[in-house]
Homo-oligomer: A and B are copies of this chain.
Amino acid sequence: MDMIDVIRTKRDGESLTEDQINYFINGYAAGAIPDEQASALLMAIVWRGMAEDELTAWTTAMISSGARLDLASIDRPTVDKHSTGGVGDKVSLVLAPIVAASGAADPMLSGRGLGHTGGTLDKLEAIPGFRADLDLDEAVRVVREVGCVICSAGPDLAPADRRLYALRDVTGTVESIPLIASSIMSKKIAEGTGALVLDVKVGSGAFLPAIDDARELAETMVSIGAAHGLRTSALLTAMDAPLGRTAGNGLEVSESFAALNGAGPGDLMEVTLELAREMLYLCGLDADPWDAIAGGGALDRFNAMVSAQGGDPHAPVPEAPEREQVQAPASGFISRMDARAVGIAAWRLGAGRAKKEDAVSPGAGVVCLKKPGDEVAVGEPIFELHADDPARFEPAGTALAGAVSIDPEPPDPCPLILERIRP
């Protein structure tokens, strides 16, 4: 087989055969196919898309390039959630313990943040001692003993995806629904979970802001799941404003503790509980996820998970020493709070990284003192910025300029759960 023919096939709008896909994925993972041929193929896929059969074969090849988690020793139904990423999205920290306390188990292999959306592992690593880098055996042991784990996917799962993602990142080929869908699903299928719920974000703070794109991505992932025998469904959820009141690693851990103690903000709880219901439904479990909060089971599972991963759930969460407030420029009702702007502000304050190698600050971030629907008076603080270094405030403040609209009338409430997609 010849790589130039593979590129030409896709360039000319034809479907790649299973043999061509295996040849490419295996050859690229092994370093036998050079980056310049791979990136030409990726751009041709951005252009031409992939048919369902191709996507199934492509995902299978990526899974086969690495190891799979063996969850045979888990005696409960397994189910996981994956989010396409949002600002203030600490859902995983509350959700995995709820699921564990409700009779299922969640083997959540997750990632670090890059860009304006935070990473779940960065958040957990704000807890003193917490280790996100477990090997696959350790991860399985924590799931078995605690009922949930949240750790890094490591280098063994779908290594072809890891190489391809790094290449897509520098060649303008990230924005392709089939490539995004197969990248996510290959890792989740390799993770070995028995069921999967996708939280596909829609709106200004989402990776794909338009609902049509989000729906297409959700349907594509649900269909890849079905083709691989994985019970998969998806919720489209709103990501116009930050979820909850905080964006930043330690700040979000503290808000998650509040949520596990039954004192979480309404939007965070609504999304978390709806995802939990869908996960338990896929497992065939007839449990009300709220009971895990009200009865303390979820908090207990979270603490057990943190301990099992080397962290101290009772240690104080680090806080940044420097604070600055951003005031309301007018009086009225907040009708819009741009999630992306808040995410970029948190990132510039030190919560996120510009390059993969950068360290993140555990304490930096944004607290939303007000949220859409709230009434404010001119000069009243809307945001509180936290940083290790006061020099961070100016660029963060620039990101927030124009991020909030204030109207004389209260806005209509916006739904958070937009659509549910099942196979």
Smallest CB separation, A236 vs chain B (Å): 24
User: Closest residue to A46 on the B side, CB-wise?
Assistant: B11
Decide if A331 is an interface residue (CB 8 Å cutoff).
no
Interface check A303, CB cutoff 8 A: no
Q: Let me know if A40 and B43 touch, CB within 8 A.
A: yes
- Residues from chain B with a CB closer than 8 A to the CB of A47 are 43-44, 47
Which residues in B have their C-beta under 8 angstroms from that of A46? Answer: 11
B39 in contact with A172 (CB, 8 Å): no
Q: Could you say which of B8, B35, B44, B175 contacts A35, with CB atoms under 8 Å apart?
A: B35
A38 interface hit (Cβ, 8 Å)? yes
Q: Contact at A34–B35, with CB atoms within 8 Å?
A: yes
User: Is A170 engaged at the interface, CB distance under 8 Å to the other chain?
Assistant: yes
Instruction: Answer yes or no: A36 CB below 8 A from chain B CBs.
Output: yes
Which residues on the B side are within 8 Å of A35 (C-beta)? 34-36
Binary per-residue interface labels of chain A (26-60) against chain B in the complex, 1 for a CB within 8 Å, 0 otherwise: 00000000111111111110110000000000000
**Closest CB in chain B relative to A366 CB, distance in Å:** 27
Task: Kindly identify which residue among B4, B11, B38, B44 contacts A36, using a CB–CB cutoff of 8 Å.
Answer: B38
A7 at the interface (CB under 8 A from B): yes
Chain B residues closer than 8 Å to A167, beta-carbon distance: 36
- List which A359-376 residues lie within 8 A (CB) of chain B: none
Q: Is the CB of B43 within 8 A of A170?
A: no
Q: Is the C-beta of A171 less than 8 angstroms from some C-beta in chain B?
A: yes
Check: A173 CB closer than 8 A to any chain B CB. Answer: yes
Closest chain-B Cβ to A172's Cβ sits at a distance in Å of: 3
Is A4 a contact of B170 with CB atoms below 8 Å?
yes
In the complex, residue of chain B having the shortest beta-carbon distance to the beta carbon of A7: B172
Does the CB pair A171–B4 fall under 8 Å? yes
**6 closest cross-chain pairs (CB), A and B:** A7-B172, A35-B36, A43-B43, A40-B171, A36-B39, A39-B40
**New A-B pairs, 14, CB < 8 Å, besides A3-B170, A4-B172:** A4-B170, A7-B43, A11-B43, A11-B46, A11-B172, A11-B173, A11-B175, A35-B35, A36-B36, A36-B38, A36-B167, A37-B170, A39-B39, A40-B172
Could you pull out 20 A-B pairs where Cβ atoms are within 8 angstroms? A4-B170, A4-B172, A7-B171, A11-B43, A11-B172, A11-B175, A34-B35, A34-B36, A35-B35, A36-B36, A36-B167, A36-B170, A39-B40, A39-B43, A40-B40, A40-B42, A40-B43, A43-B43, A44-B47, A47-B47
